[in-house]
């Protein structure tokens, strides 16, 4: 037990010493205005690069990801039909598709699928 404790302490001290040593001898980075600004073909940027993006794009991306995952879950359904009980497969598939249709109706009802707002 003493040997394990000694080895753990030694490895902890050695890694801490290496981290401190590399911090001390590393190059110091000076904050330069040109280096910290966003790159725009060598010219000064005309406006801030940190503008907030439209939440509409984020919402469309999330909906796309949800439908993408749904398709990935729907693709193996016909293959699993041959290896499982047909009644349980039909029940599970119907419930899954019903949940997807209810989710789509909810998104449509909330106006998430309308881009022109």
Q: How many CB atoms lie within 10 A of CB 24?
A: 7
pLDDT given for residue 34 in this prediction: 61
- Mean pLDDT on 107-115: 79
- Estimate the share of the chain in helix, then strand, then coil, as percent rounded to the nearest 5: 65, 0, 35
What is the model's pTM?
0.47
pLDDT given for residue 69 in this prediction: 85
Measured CA to CA, the distance from residue 101 to residue 95 in angstroms comes to 10
Measured CA to CA, the distance from residue 114 to residue 60 in angstroms comes to 10
> Degrees (nearest 5) of the Cα angle 17, 24, 13?
5
Please write the tens of the pLDDT for every residue from 29-66: 666 666 666 665 655 556 665 667 777 777 778 888 88
């Amino acid at each position: 037990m003493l040997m394990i404790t000694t080895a753990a302490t030694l490895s902890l001290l050695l890694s801490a010493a290496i981290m401190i040593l590399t911090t001390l001898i590393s190059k110091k980075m000076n904050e330069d205005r040109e280096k910290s600004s966003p790159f725009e073909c060598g010219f000064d940027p005309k406006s801030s690069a940190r503008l907030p993006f439209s939440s509409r794009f984020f919402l469309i991306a999330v909906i796309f990801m949800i439908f993408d995952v749904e398709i990935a879950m729907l693709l193996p359904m016909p293959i699993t039909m041959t290896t499982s009980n047909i009644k349980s497969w039909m029940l599970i598939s119907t419930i899954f598709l019903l949940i997807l249709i209810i989710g789509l109706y909810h998104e449509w009802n909330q106006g998430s699928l309308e881009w022109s707002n």
